[in-house]
Structure formats: structure tokens, C-alpha cells
Amino acid sequence: MNLVVQATRIGRSVQTAIALQKWDKQDRSPVTVADLAIQALVSAGLREAFPEIPLMGEESADELRTEAMAPLVAQIVEQVRQVAGDKVSPEFVLEAIDRGREPLDLGGRYWVLDPVDGTKGFLRREQYAIALALMEAGRPVLGILACPNLPGRVQGPVDPDAPLGHVYTAISGEGACEVPLLAGDVAGTARPIRVAAAGSAAATRWVERVESSDRNKDVSSLIAEAAGVSEAPMRLDSQAKYAVVARGEAALYLRHTLDPAYREMVWDHAGGVLVIEEAGGRVTDLAGRPLDFTHGRRLERNRGIVATGADLHERVVEAVGAHLTPEALLV
Ligand code: AMP
Ligand code: MG
């Protein structure tokens, strides 16, 4: 966890820069110095501590190895040096980033890293997460989500003295915890978390993406309402959505896209799934299928996500069946 807490320092230092810059990757998704610097830092730190465990990471250094990109690489090096010291060189950084793309045995042990999950939220200076999971035999067994901008409550009055930023941790079979990030990026005291109880005030609250289309949002609202989750949704970027359900502030995280070709990425879910499950909740895809992490970098055999406090799950999957066509659930 220390490594991920240290990485929040990079997130904060890049995010407080006056002009927050981004580049579009070849797939047109945005990337910042923070995405690349955090992947370099966490990759190198994990390699040092666990040299035999490979890494699946979202980012690649492919587009950084040109003369034109040298200024960006220099900025990445500067960020990583803040935490890891002067030994860090451009070659060290590029190699550490690229370790996340090396082939690995999907049935064995490997780390999954999303260095800045919710880059669009990061650019808006809203929610993002640094998400790490350890996979074993196709399942997450350790999950860590650092949410540097997530207050203790999303709804309700804001306490200006309360810590801004929380880390969520889960170990398979041992439960999930919330750890406040105190000033100076120091981890506070961990407390166990549980999903919302049936009948509690949170049982009618739900969360969804900021970035999905209006049509997607309309369909999500119909599904949530049909399942009895009737309040207006909280909209958050990143796996902070998993955290909000795991800590019992909302009862449902619903995610779907009307794009028939889209499949979820492993690093957008692996850590968050374990945090909810260990807090007593349940995660499947929209059709109620268990998430199958054994197909590479994408969840090829799943469509969307239904993450809930346990007793709501079946009602949501039924409501999905009533509002989406069978084709929308095909894999
Ligand atoms: P969120 O913050 O929940 O919107 O999740 C951000 C992640 O959504 C990004 O890191 C992408 O991997 C992923 N993403 C990109 N396009 C889509 C899409 N059409 N449907 C669902 N997820 C997407
Ligand atoms: Mg992501």
C-alpha cells in the first residue's frame, strides 16, 4: 500500500500544476504525465519487491521513444524522481512503463495496474483512482484503490477539516478497509467497511459514470428505477464508484455502454471488484455472469457491470433483462 500512497504524491503534484496538459494516445484516449509517471513508479517498485511477479499495466512507452517526446519524458522523470530519488533516468522510466505490456501467464500471478483511472476526471480536477490488484488463478486476491480526491462522503455537507482522499484495500477472505489520506500523503488509521444494509437510506442511492452518453444515462436510470433504486445517481469518474458502494454510501454501481463492440478493460475493474466483494457486496456483468478475467487485457466474455450490496443484485439483473435487448448482453 505504501507504494500506492507514494504514487498519490505524483497525482497531486501533476494535478495542481497550473496548466494541466494532456496528449491523445493513438486510440484517442487522453494521457497525462501522471499516468505515465505513476505506472513507472509503481512498476519499478513492484519489480524491486516482487521480481518474479509480472505486471499488466494500462500504459505503454511506445509513443514516447521519439525525439519529439523527449520533453514529455523529462517531465515524467522529474515526477518519478520526487518519490524515487535521483537514480531515475529516462531509460529506467521507459523500461518500467513497458514492463506493463510484456506477455504473461493469465492463469498465474500477476499485478494489474491502472495508474490514473478516470483520466478525464483527473483533468477536470475531480475524481480519479490509482488502482492496483494482484491476480491469482484468474481472480483478484488483493485490491488497492487510492482515491486522492474522494471525501469521506460524496453527498451531504462537506466538513472542511475532514481528510480529502481515501485508500481502499481488500484481501481475499479478509475483508475490506478504508484508510484516510492525511496531510502530507500519510495513511491514517484503517477501518473495516461494509456495503449498505437492506432498507437503509443508502439502499435507494446509486452511482454511474460521468462520461457515458445521455442515452446511456437514460437507460441506466430506467434500469435503476425498475430495481427500486430511485434517487438521482451520483456521477463519479474512476473506480471511486466501487469505493462508494463498498463503504455503504450507495447500493448500486451500474455500468453499460450502447456500443456493441466495447468490452471492459481488466484494469478498470480488478481492484474495485475485490473491494466490493470483501465489503459484502456482489459484482457480475449486466447478464449476471461472473467477471471472467482470463481473456487478456479485456473482459471479452462480459458486458458491462452490476455491482451491488448483495441483496439487490438479482433485482438489478432482472431489470437489465427488461430494458436491454438480448443482443446487448451477448458476448
Ligand atoms: P469511468 O471513469 O468510469 O468513466 O471509466 C474510465 C474508463 O472507461 C477508461 O479508463 C476507459 O478504459 C473506459 N472506457 C472508455 N470508453 C468506454 C466506453 N465506451 N464504455 C465504457 N468504458 C469506457
Ligand atoms: Mg481506467
Tell whether ligand 1 has an atom less than 6 A from the beta carbon of residue 263.
no
pLDDT computed for residue 254 by the predictor: 98
Tell me where in the chain the CATH 3.40.190.80 domain(s) lie.
201-329
Nearest-CA residue for atom 14 of ligand 1: 264
How far is Cα 70 from Cα 282, in angstroms, rounded to an integer?
45
Q: Which atom of ligand 1 is nearest to the CA of 120?
A: 2
Spatial CB neighbours of 68, under 8 Å, sequence gap ≥ 6? none
How far is Cα 239 from Cα 253, in angstroms, rounded to an integer?
10
Going by their DSSP bridges, the two strands 186-187 and 164-171 should be labelled as unpaired
pLDDT computed for residue 257 by the predictor: 94
Tell whether ligand 1 has an atom less than 6 A from the beta carbon of residue 282.
no
Tell me 304's DSSP state. Answer: S
Determine the distance separating the centroid of ligand 2 and the alpha carbon of 114, expressed in angstroms.
6
Residue 91, classed as helix, strand or coil, is helix
Going by their DSSP bridges, the two strands 175-182 and 139-151 should be labelled as unpaired
Split at pLDDT 50, 70, 90, the class of 28 is confident
Determine the distance separating the centroid of ligand 2 and the alpha carbon of 128, expressed in angstroms.
9
pTM summary value: 0.96
Count Cβ atoms within 10 A of the Cβ of residue 152 and give its class: 0-12 exposed, 13-18 middle, 19 or more buried.
middle
Chain centroid to CA 293:
15
Determine the distance separating the centroid of ligand 2 and the alpha carbon of 265, expressed in angstroms.
8
Tell whether ligand 1 has an atom less than 6 A from the beta carbon of residue 238.
yes
Nearest-CA residue for atom 16 of ligand 1: 262
Nearest-CA residue for atom 15 of ligand 1: 29
Query: Three cell numbers at 245?
Result: 458502494
**Is the Cβ–Cβ distance between 306 and 313 less than 8 Å?**
yes
Name 34's bridge partners: none
What DSSP letter does each residue of 266-297 carry, written as one string?
A: GGGTHHHHHHHHHTTEEEE-TTSPPP--TTSS
Q: Rounded mean pLDDT of 181-193?
A: 88
Tell me 223's DSSP state. Answer: H
**How many helices (H) does the chain have, and how many strands (E)?**
9, 15
Best residue for ligand 1 mutational test, from 56, 208, 209, 216 (most atoms within 8 Å of Cβ) = 209
Split at pLDDT 50, 70, 90, the class of 72 is very high
Distances (CA, A) of 314 to 86, 215, 227, 330: 53, 24, 9, 19
Residues of the chain above pLDDT 70, percent:
99
Tell me where in the chain the CATH 3.30.540.10 domain(s) lie.
2-192
Asked whether the predicted pLDDT for residue 25 surpasses 90, the reply is no
CATH topology of domain 201-329: D-Maltodextrin-Binding Protein; domain 2 (3.40.190)
Q: What are phi and psi of 94, to 5 degrees?
A: -65, -40
Question: Which stretch of 18-22, 159-163, 244-248, 252-256 has the lowest confidence by average pLDDT?
Answer: 18-22
Q: Where does 96-195 show beta strands of DSSP type E?
A: 110-117, 129-136, 139-151, 164-171, 175-182, 186-187, 191-192
In the chain, the N- to C-terminal Cα span, in Å, equals: 35
Q: For the structural domain made of 2-192, what CATH number should be given? A: 3.30.540.10
Asked whether the predicted pLDDT for residue 19 surpasses 80, the reply is no
Indicate which ligand has the atom closest to the C-alpha of 120. 1
Indicate which ligand has the atom closest to the C-alpha of 29. 1
> Tell me: the pLDDT tens digits for 151-179?
999 988 888 888 889 999 999 999 999 99
**Is the Cβ–Cβ distance between 224 and 254 less than 8 Å?**
yes
Tell whether ligand 1 has an atom less than 6 A from the beta carbon of residue 262.
yes
* Catalytic residue positions, numbered: 35, 119
Determine the distance separating the centroid of ligand 1 and the alpha carbon of 257, expressed in angstroms.
9
Tell whether ligand 1 has an atom less than 6 A from the beta carbon of residue 217.
no
How far is Cα 323 from Cα 215, in angstroms, rounded to an integer?
13
Tell whether ligand 1 has an atom less than 6 A from the beta carbon of residue 216.
no
Q: Which atom of ligand 1 is nearest to the CA of 118?
A: 2
Determine the distance separating the centroid of ligand 2 and the alpha carbon of 192, expressed in angstroms.
25
What DSSP letter does each residue of 159-185 carry, written as one string?
A: -TTSPEEEEEEEETTTEEEEEEEETTT
> Tell me: the pLDDT tens digits for 36-57?
999 999 999 999 999 999 999 9
Split at pLDDT 50, 70, 90, the class of 18 is low
